[in-house]
Structures are given as C-alpha cells and as structure tokens.
Amino acid sequence: AAISEARELRDEFQRFLREYEFGMREIETKISILRDEFTHDHDYNPIEHVKSRLKTPDSIVEKVARRGIEPDFASIREHITDIAGVRVTCSFVADVYRLFDLLTAQDDVTVRIVKDYIAQPKDNGYRSLHAIVEVPVYLSTGALMVPVEVQFRTIAMDFWASLEHKIYYKFSQRVPAHLVDSLTAAADAATELDSRMEQLHREARSSTVGAIAPPPPPTST
Ligand code: 0O2
C-alpha cells in the first residue's frame, strides 16, 4: 500500500509541474508571435532572446522551507508564483516596456504582481521588470489559470545578472565587500550603456541613409 501511495504522490507532483509547463508554453507562444509580427511588419526585432525554466523540485522545496509554506499542493500553488518562469531579453529599455505592455494588454492575460526593478533597482544594482501573470490553460478537465513569472530585461541587465548570480553562488551567498562594491559599480555602467545604446539606436534610425548629397540631375544640352 505504501508503494502505491508513493506512486500516486509522484504522479500528482508530475501533473502539478506539467500545469506550469503548459502555462509557460502559452506565454512563450505569445512572445514568439509578437516577435515574428514585429520582425515581419515593422522590420525590427525587439527581442534578443527568450529563456524559460521550470523551478526544480529541490528549489521548490527550499522555498517552501525558507518561507514556512505548508507543504501541500494547494499552499504551494497559492504562495509560490515563480514555478514557471520566462525571461525575455530585449535590445533596449523602451523595448522592455513595449513588450510588457503588449503582453499584459492581452485579454486572456491577468496581471497579478508587477515589480519594476528598472524604475527602482535593488540595492545591489539588479535591474529587470518582473510580472507575475496568469494565463488560462485548457485541459481535458477544463480551463485552469496558471501563474507565470515573466522577467523583461535588456542584454546589459542580463549580462550583469548572470555574472552576479554566478558570483553569489560561488561565494555561497557571502560575497566579499569589495566584490559587492564592484558589482554595484558595474550595474551603474550597465545602466549607462543602456542609455547610450538606446540614444545611438534612435539617432541611427532617424538619420537618412547616405549623408552625401545626391548627384545633380543631368542637364540637357
Ligand atoms: P532563478 O534561478 O532565476 O529562478 P524570491 O523568489 O523569494 O527570491 P521574490 O520576491 O519572490 O523573491 O522574487 P523577485 O524579487 O521578483 O525575484 C526573483 C527572481 O528574480 C530570482 O529568481 C532571479 O531570477 C531574479 N533576481 C532577483 N533579484 C536578483 C538579484 O539580485 N540578482 C540576480 N542575478 N537575479 C535576481 P530565483 O528564484 O532567485 O532564481
């Protein structure tokens, strides 16, 4: 009896995770449709890359313990909203907000929480725009609303965050003070780079091709 109960629990956990995977796929599709439409109709691709991940069982268990959440499916469903995660890396800050607006304006996307770490960076310098959204997933048993954490950021923000994440784990979350300071300074440099690149991009798009004056029309003799 114990083994069949354990198998049932395993099946239930797999079914639970699958729901998040389906939600993640719905968001991925929405983002890729926006990307393709932009590329074809506006001759411009605002997205550099998209990365999705499901939280690992270990990481879910760690968060349950850290936050003191009841270890049952209903409580986990209610309190852990980043089991499905999609990260959208854009070229420029304006694209980050544009993509966020386009996704969250869709009728079947419900915004639960927005954390704008671009307008208000974290103390260490972390910048990104986070949204917990819910999307319906249609199963044989009916519709289910699934929360997905979508992180929007620029390439510079992504570059910084991935290095910071590596350093944080390398030092088991106890980063030496001089490295913390250097990371914060690097975050400022990334912010500066973002605004310079955006400015450059705007100038390039508004200036006309061929700064040299065209040749005069042929004169008739
Ligand atoms: P992973 O591996 O990306 O999933 P909490 O989840 O409890 O830490 P909260 O308030 O639920 O915090 O979430 P919040 O602040 O919206 O941010 C959670 C996620 O944002 C993290 O997920 C990271 O992906 C990213 N993030 C937030 N702060 C930082 C930071 O200072 N540095 C970096 N590199 N990333 C950050 P996970 O679950 O920690 O990791």
116-166 residue pLDDT tens: 999 999 999 999 999 999 999 999 999 999 999 999 999 999 999 999 999
- pTM, 2 dp: 0.90
ipTM of predicted complex: 0.91
**Ligand 1, residues at Cβ distance < 6 Å:** 82, 85, 115, 122, 124, 126, 130, 161, 164-165
Ligand 1 pocket test target in 51, 67, 162, 165 with most atoms within 8 Å of CB? 165
- Mean pLDDT to the nearest integer, 191-216: 82
24-57 residue pLDDT tens: 999 999 999 999 999 999 888 999 999 999 999 9
Residues 6+ apart with CB under 8 A from 60: 76, 80, 83
Name the CATH topology of 2-155: Beta Polymerase; domain 2 (3.30.460)
170: number of Cβ within 10 Å: 10
- What is the DSSP secondary-structure string of 28-84? HHHHHHHHHHHHHHSS---EEEEEEEEPPHHHHHHHHHHHT--SSHHHHHHH---SE
* Number of the ligand 1 atom closest to the C-alpha atom of 53: 4
